[in-house]
Amino acid sequence: MNEEQALARAAALPCWHNPGEAAILGGGITNHNVVIADNGARYVVRIGDDITVHGILRFNELAIAQAAEAAGISPKVHYNEPGALVLEFIDAKALSEEEVRAPERLPRIVELIGRCHRDVARHLRGPILTFWVFHVVNDYAATLERDGSRHLARLPDLLDWAARLEKAVGPIDLVLGHNDLLPANILDDGSRLWLIDWEYGGFNSPLFDLGGLATNNGLSPDQEREILALYYDEPADDARWRSYTAMKCASLMRETLWSMVSEIHSNLDFDYGAYTEENMSRLQRALDDFKNL
């Protein structure tokens, strides 16, 4: 589906009473986001079907979005139907990596992640997916082999590393994770923070969200230790730091393989090839750090 088709689909939804003109809202790399006004209120329409190659199932996204709304950390779900999710528009700024790293904001983001992990699951209803990064990596590798990716020569080393990292992570706690903490998925309205985009939401280790926050936003080692201390209310000992660092590497590996698969399977106008190489560089640096622990 192209942008013109997404606009038409959003405008034709039966939930509107007196809709204004629809416009594309930037930010989506697995779906189209459309903003539309109706009866004096504004809404965001997420247009996108299931993407099974990425484990995206919209029933899961809807259930977690509704639970996150009930937990007070995500916008209200106004309407849904297969392929379309309508959310109340939040007059807020999507953050940049630099803004996530800001000393005055980073503790608030960690508190928001903690609320996600503690509170959202209490409001969940119905079946919910589990997001285990090492399964995702193995599944992506199989997809790349099946579909003749240009990155096949990289896979044996990546899979060897994945097995080593999973062992290093060790036993985990299980929480409801966001699992896609890109800066654009964190909004600041000037008084509070919000989490959006629950495509990859599911039960996971809290270390995955903390590692994803670090890798997606360029946190320094000191900031990484800060977020662990804030989240767990105590400084990280050597065992937790090793487990966290292994999960951080796995988070980067998943993002890298996600991009490799998207090079083949996505029709959206996005430079996935450049994104793959950017994440490969980040992953190699993280693995080099892990080797030195």
Fold of the domain spanning 3-88: Phosphorylase Kinase; domain 1 (3.30.200)
Q: What is the pLDDT of residues 40-87, one digit of tens each?
A: 999 999 999 999 999 999 999 999 999 999 999 999 999 999 999 999
Sorting pLDDT into bands at 50, 70 and 90, what band is 29? low
Q: What is the pLDDT of residues 218-263, one digit of tens each?
A: 999 999 999 999 999 999 999 999 999 999 999 999 999 999 999 9
Give the three-class secondary structure for 197: coil
Arithmetic mean of pLDDT over the chain: 95
How crowded is the C-beta side of 12, counted as CA atoms within 13 Å? Answer: 8
Q: Can you tell me the distance from the alpha carbon of 101 to that of 94, in angstroms, rounded to the nearest whole number?
A: 14
Name the residue ranges covered by the structural domains of the chain: 3-88, 93-291
Q: What is the pLDDT of residue 74?
A: 98
pLDDT at residue 28 greater than cutoff 70:
no
The CATH superfamily of 93-291 is Aminoglycoside phosphotransferase (APH), C-terminal lobe (3.90.1200.10)
Q: Which of 155, 125, 126, 121 is nearest to 141 (CA)?
A: 155
